[in-house]
Amino acid sequence: MQTERLLMIPGPSPVHPRILNSLSLPTVSHVSPELVEELKKALDNLKKVVFCEKGEAFIISGAGTLAMEMAILNVIKKGEKFLVISQGFFGQRMVQIAESFGLDCDLIEREWGKAVLPEELEAKLDKEEYEAVVSTHVDTCTGACAPIKDYAEVLKGRGVHFIVDGVCATGGIEERMDDWGIDVILTAPQKCFGAPPGLAVLVVSEKAIEKRRSMGAIPAYYADLLNWLPIMKDPSKYFSTPCVNEIRAFYESTQIVLEEGMEKRILRHARVAKAIRKALIELGFSLFTQEPFLADTLSVVEYPEGIKDQPFRKTFSKNGVVVAGGLGETAGKVFRMGHMGNLSVSQVYFALDTLERTLTSIGFSFIPGSGLKAAKEILGE
């Protein structure tokens, strides 16, 4: 029997019982009325989450990495150049994907923990022509949140396709596809939707679909949006057997998102992030990510002197809360705590209480109750 722990890594986030319940319904036919209906609704819901009225949504068996690849391959063809705005690990991955397919891209980035400024983007665009600009919204590794709206402002009128990697943002941080003029938002279920991983999720503007159509053959089959488009328009058609159970779970997750309402959900993510950070600072931690780039979906937290990564995370997990370690240059120096999706206020309090118990047991001194108190000042009793 597995011990249940609160999952506060930066994805998968905790999966709500309603979603687990949908996941575990007896597998139905991929062309059954149940699945056709729920996939249709999930696609509609998804568009609402990113404030998209036109455009096409795609829900495909796979992962965020596949969605990244799909976004690039369906909008940028060989000979065209694009720009990657990197906030860390996943921006680098976009470059790797480009290299795999022999696509030409430039990269702008800042040191880890900060995001590229809109004026840096503007300066780059004034110097060079790009077919598309790709930006990670929130980098799960560095905790940096990019000013996507400001980038979009810079891009206006330049005829550039704007692709946003919303894996750690969509459904928790504001992304207004139509208003801001985003062409592709790609994401995954296991972050702000709080559903199990296993899907590549995209919303694609009409302009980007048109671009795809104009491209002719692309080096993709499973990743070709045009192979999936007829199925997304009519899920009773067949291209490749959809992952029935995952899709039903994801549908339920989009229902939960819209029941809360996107505006409220965005505000809740911001408040929870603020509360957790205030608590962490009270307890003696500091933040790796710099203001004003702090993502509302996770915190990358630097250890104060006296706390060692491995024993801390091991004890924290044994006590009931799982957080992630740092990656690359931050390994051993930080832990990463996700606070996104359907995480409830009581789960936040449980996490902070468990954190205090953990600090006590590893002999770190702090003012007892100060973390929880700080959080409660923001979130209430």
Q: Which residues bind a copy of itself (CB under 8 A)?
A: 2, 4-5, 7, 9, 11-12, 14-15, 20-21, 23-30, 32, 34, 61-66, 69, 96-97, 99-102, 188, 190, 196-199, 217-224, 239-246, 322, 324
Query: Diameter of the chain by CA atoms?
Result: 64
Report the relative pairing of strands 321-322 and 6-7 from DSSP bridges: parallel
CB of 291 to a copy of itself, least distance (A): 28
**Partners of 133 in the β-ladder:** 83, 162
CB of 170 to a copy of itself, least distance (A): 15
Name every residue whose Cβ is closer than 8 Å to that of residue 290 and which is 6 or more positions away in sequence. 113, 114, 144
How far apart are the C-alpha atoms of 100 and 106, rounded to whole Å?
Answer: 15
| Chain centroid to CA 146 | 12
Which of residues 13 and 87 has its CB atom nearest to a copy of itself in the complex? 13
CB of 97 to a copy of itself, least distance (A): 5
Which of residues 52 and 59 has its CB atom nearest to a copy of itself in the complex? 59
The residue type of 200 is A
Which of residues 221 and 263 has its CB atom nearest to a copy of itself in the complex? 221
Sign of CA dihedral 168, 171, 172, 173: positive
Number of H helices, E strands in the chain: 14, 13
How far apart are the C-alpha atoms of 171 and 153, rounded to whole Å?
Answer: 21
Which of residues 52 and 256 has its CB atom nearest to a copy of itself in the complex? 256
Q: How many CA atoms lie within 13 A of 10 on its CB side?
A: 25
The angle subtended at Cα 368 by Cα 366 and Cα 369, nearest 5°, is 125
Cα-flanking dihedrals φ and ψ of residue 200, to 5°? Answer: -100, 125
Which of residues 11 and 143 has its CB atom nearest to a copy of itself in the complex? 11
Name every residue whose Cβ is closer than 8 Å to that of residue 182 and which is 6 or more positions away in sequence. 50, 148, 152, 162, 163, 164, 175, 176, 205
Which of residues 63 and 203 has its CB atom nearest to a copy of itself in the complex? 63
E-strand ranges in the chain read: 6-7, 56-61, 81-86, 104-109, 132-136, 161-165, 184-187, 199-204, 286-287, 298-302, 321-322, 324-325, 334-338
CB of 153 to a copy of itself, least distance (A): 31
The residue type of 240 is S
CB of 240 to a copy of itself, least distance (A): 4
Which of residues 1 and 363 has its CB atom nearest to a copy of itself in the complex? 1
Q: How far is CA 126 from CA 47, 115, 119, 144, 182, in A?
A: 32, 19, 10, 25, 20
CB of 326 to a copy of itself, least distance (A): 13
CB of 263 to a copy of itself, least distance (A): 27
Which of residues 322 and 345 has its CB atom nearest to a copy of itself in the complex? 322
CB of 269 to a copy of itself, least distance (A): 19
Tell me if 340 sits within 8 A of 172, measured CB to CB. yes
CB of 69 to a copy of itself, least distance (A): 5
Which of residues 28 and 229 has its CB atom nearest to a copy of itself in the complex? 28
CB of 194 to a copy of itself, least distance (A): 9
Which of residues 30 and 268 has its CB atom nearest to a copy of itself in the complex? 30
How far apart are the C-alpha atoms of 28 and 273, rounded to whole Å?
Answer: 39
